[in-house]
Structure 1
Amino acid sequence: MILFRISQPSPQFNALLQQTLPMLVGLLAIMGNQLIDNAFIGQLGEQPLAVVGYSLPVYQLIIGIQVGIGVATTACASAALGAGKTNYARQLGAIVLGLGSVLVTIVCTLLWYYQETIASILGADNSLYPLLRSYWLPWLFSCWLGALLHLGYCICRSFGQALIPGKVMVLSSIINLILDPVLIFYFDLNLAGAAWATCIAFGIGLIVIFRSIIASYFLMLPVNTQVVRKGVKAITQTTLPAMLSQFLPPLSAIFVTMIIAGYGNSAIGAWGLANRLEYILIILVLALTMALPQMVGRLKGEKNYRDIQSLVKNALLFVVSLQCVFAVVIWLSADLFVQLLTHEQGVQAVVEQYLMMVPISYGSLGVCMISISVCNAIGLPRTGLVISIVRLFICYLPLVWLGVELYGLTGVFIGACLGNLICGLMAWQVLSKYLNKFNTNLELTLPAEQSAKPIAQANTQS
């Protein structure tokens, strides 16, 4: 189905791909490393895989916080830069860094204190608690370091610098990959060794990224309390809806994990592995959601809404087309994938079933994710939140529940696939409505000569 008229890729879209490429390489390094990390953990047996599976919804919660704050950073700072307020954009970066570090510290501390209660709610067996305790201390520390690292990436991207974050992602992934087998097997730290390897890699990444940020003058201490109040207000208005939007996926992941827990540790381990695979398979979408807001924010600051519309449409068409190709490749090679990742036959069967059903819906999922990202960037975070609510609580969870009732564990994958397909169509309808509205308002308010400016002239002004 063609959702919109195919247009010639704009110079902005070509620039978007240039910004996306470093993030794509960096994310590929991170996700590939996580997958190899999972393969090492898989050699330790079923229980360590189960602990990782139960930790996944909690990890998504922390990711939701850091991404929500990061969205606010990119949206506010890039819009300020587009309006020519460079010093204010630098001060926003410092404000976000302070707020984010405090918030993530509080959350990680609470998660450590209530770890057994959380694991019990998710359906973990008491026999997993000792392994859980030894893993969660270094793992939560790595999550804290990763959140600060993510904020550093967002500050760089706000200023149009995607190469440095991409390099740091690759560097930290290589360090992690080298340290994993050493700490897990040589020093006999087992599951905790994987987490400590991540801590060391992220710590080195933090040093590199913030040395670059300081050297590039991307940060500036607020000049007075008025700037702090103004910055906090602007960030909060975007952060709260964006953060709530990011909280919804881990909340749904908790419900799905509780459902799958009824099928045993093997199913939980497979579900955790399948989710790692999903991040790999939608890596292009993730890279675009990181690169797109900065460009959309700048165009918004310039009040160049027509180019925003063209840029977003080309990005969505690109994503849908490429994800369909990925789905076919995965469908043809699912058996090879699972054999490389784990030797547990029960886990292999579940993961293979997942790969045969769900990836075909990733193009539609990408439309939904990019729509939410664009809504945040153009100053409509509440609309992005509504799209997230509709996706999870009207499309995804009800269909997963219905699938389980009708087909058991297989029904989880059927429901997830259908939920992704439906939510993508709905998200595009909502986003296209606002993009068309922006374009119409621009034509009504600008003289004919100005509204018809060529893209090249807009680029010269920026």
Structure 2
Amino acid sequence: MSNASRAPNLLEGNIHSTLKTMTIPVVYGMILLMTFGLVDTFFVSLLGTEQLAAISFTFPVTFTVISLNIGLGIGTSATIARLMGAGDKSTAHGVGTGALILSFIMASVLAIIGFISIEPIFTLLGASEAEMPYIKDYMLVWYGAGIFLSLPMVGNAVLRANGDTKTPSMIMALGGAINAILDPILIFGWGPIPAMGIQGAALATLIAWAIGSGQIIHLLAFKRKLIMPRMLSFSELREYSRNILKIGVPAAGANMLTPIANGVMTAIVAGYGSAAVASWGVGGRIESIASIMILALSMTLPPFISQNYGASKINRVKDAYVICLKFVLFWQFAVFLVMWFLAPFIAQIFAQEKEVVNLIQLFLMIVPIGYGLQGIIILTNSSFNAMHKPMSALLLSVIRLFVFFVPISWLGSLLFELKGMFWMGVLANFLTATVAFLWFRKLLNEEMDSISSNDTGISDTAS
């Protein structure tokens, strides 16, 4: 089967149908992946509240590594998709090769830094002496897993840039399935395999993504031929990495702001005790499931935008952006209603202690109100990157997290404790979503005026 038959035509097809065709496979894959992530949290919760709190403390740090790969994936996808829109496939293949090599190098460097700084970082985040041994056990293995995670994440961005969203979903789902199967075996032991506790959860992740790394490299280099089946010279790597880094570094920086902000929020929550941290961590995992449509569209909308931007079809960019925003607002409001109704039942699945159950329930009945607004922010941010405006995306992230979300949420915690923090977080999302929408609409109007002026100039010259 050819690549063309696998992927929809992003430049000519019906916008609604094309986005639907691209997004549905991503949703299926992410549902499986996120479900397996919740399974991971469930098994760790059986070890006790301290272990659950420990893994909750790791989220800001592990997401920093993940954010680096997300940023490189964004730069890779935007660069390759624009080249494909302009018809330059040869350079696109070189860019894909450079992206994989670059991601492996950068993830390795970040892992080394992480190894030697575990205790000071988590002490800064507010981890207690009782929680620190569990954190060390987990992170010493997880940093190794983070290196292998880089290759599937960036490799999947190469596939999505070519319009194929089904295969990346299958790769994500397979990795999640392997992780979920290995979790209970490695955490609690089975036969000759000893019980490793929280470290077993990290080892399961490492094995799953090591398998995924081999799979994605074989697929891209030999089956699809979307990258070069060889290492690049230093000069080639520098040349092909230039445009990736131009978008990827600000995008990675923007994504790394999220775990930094989450680290600050975790430190604030830690002031209310281990039960509060445990509930915050569970709420974050559930939020990933609840926001799955947003995350899926943030992967499928950018390649569509980049290819059409490369072909100067700005009207299609504008229509796709508006369609996605309207859908996300409607969808996430429906998700909020479901979560509000099921909050007591969900909370009891992930906790045994009454205090933790009550706090998880409080989270689920307030925070999801703002998920639709958060969707506008995330999709606008990814659209800025797709339009090759990475500094705008970075600035939007700074405004979202450090002008609105962290200060306003902190103020809410001072005034009304955790309940106030949750409600003020919703207000922060509303303010940021308004800024994001008006800003991107202004950019689109400027691009349309520029194309119109160029067309007028050409017509005048021809006459």
Q: TM-score, normalised by structure 1?
A: 0.92
- Equivalent AA in structure 2 for residue 31 of structure 1: M
Q: Cα deviation per residue 1:234-293 (whole Å; 9 max; x = unaligned)?
A: 122111211221111111111111111111111111111111111111111111111111
Shift of 1:402: 0.7
Select 2:53's aligned residue among 46, 50, 53: 50
CA contact (8 A) 1:213 1:219 kept: yes
- 2:368 maps to 1:359: yes
CA distance in 1, matches of 2:458, 2:343: 55
- 2:41 maps to 1:14: no
Give the structure 2 partner of residue 191 of structure 1.
198
Distance 1:228 1:131, change over 3 A: closer
- 2:303 maps to 1:294: yes
Distance 1:211 1:436, change over 3 A: same
- 2:241 maps to 1:232: yes
Shift of 1:63: 1.7
Give the structure 1 partner of residue 4 of structure 2.
none
Matches within 5 A, 1:163-312: 163-186=166-189, 187-214=194-221, 215-220=223-228, 227-312=236-321
Distance 1:449 1:255, change over 3 A: same
Distance 1:325 1:233, change over 3 A: same
CA distance in 2, matches of 1:385, 1:176: 32
Give the structure 1 partner of residue 34 of structure 2.
31
- Equivalent AA in structure 2 for residue 209 of structure 1: I
Select 1:317's aligned residue among 318, 326, 334: 326
Distance 1:232 1:212, change over 3 A: closer
CA contact (8 A) 2:65 2:146 kept: yes
Give the structure 2 partner of residue 7 of structure 1.
none
Distance 1:106 1:448, change over 3 A: closer
Give the structure 1 partner of residue 78 of structure 2.
75
Give the structure 2 partner of residue 459 of structure 1.
none
Distance 1:204 1:328, change over 3 A: same
Quick one: percent identity of the two aligned structures?
Answer: 29
CA distance in 1, matches of 2:77, 2:25: 17
Give the structure 2 partner of residue 5 of structure 1.
none
- 2:73 maps to 1:106: no
Distance 1:229 1:179, change over 3 A: closer
Select 1:407's aligned residue among 402, 413, 416: 416
- Equivalent AA in structure 2 for residue 72 of structure 1: G
CA distance in 2, matches of 1:144, 1:111: 12
Q: TM-score, normalised by structure 2?
A: 0.92
CA distance in 1, matches of 2:440, 2:335: 25
CA distance in 2, matches of 1:151, 1:355: 32
Select 1:442's aligned residue among 415, 436, 451: 451
Residue range with higher mean Cα deviation, 270-279 or 215-224: 215-224
- Equivalent AA in structure 2 for residue 353 of structure 1: L
Q: Cα deviation per residue 1:338-395 (whole Å; 9 max; x = unaligned)?
A: 1122222221111110111110110010000000000001111111111111111111
- Equivalent AA in structure 2 for residue 269 of structure 1: A
Shift of 1:441: 2.3
- Equivalent AA in structure 1 for residue 185 of structure 2: V
SS in 1 for 2:195: coil
CA contact (8 A) 1:164 1:209 kept: no
Shift of 1:226: 6.0
- 2:120 maps to 1:128: no
Task: Name the Cα RMSD after superposition.
Answer: 1.8
Give the structure 2 partner of residue 346 of structure 1.
355
- Equivalent AA in structure 2 for residue 421 of structure 1: F
Structure 2 unmatched runs, 5+: 1-12
CA distance in 1, matches of 2:352, 2:435: 40
Number of aligned residue pairs: give it: 441
Shift of 1:14: 1.6
SS in 1 for 2:272: coil
- 2:424 maps to 1:421: no
Shift of 1:223: 7.9
- Equivalent AA in structure 2 for residue 398 of structure 1: P
CA distance in 1, matches of 2:345, 2:234: 58
CA contact (8 A) 2:78 2:385 kept: yes
Give the structure 1 partner of residue 157 of structure 2.
154
Shift of 1:140: 1.6
CA distance in 1, matches of 2:285, 2:431: 23
Q: Cα deviation per residue 1:289-326 (whole Å; 9 max; x = unaligned)?
A: 11111111111111111111111110111111101111
Shift of 1:18: 1.0
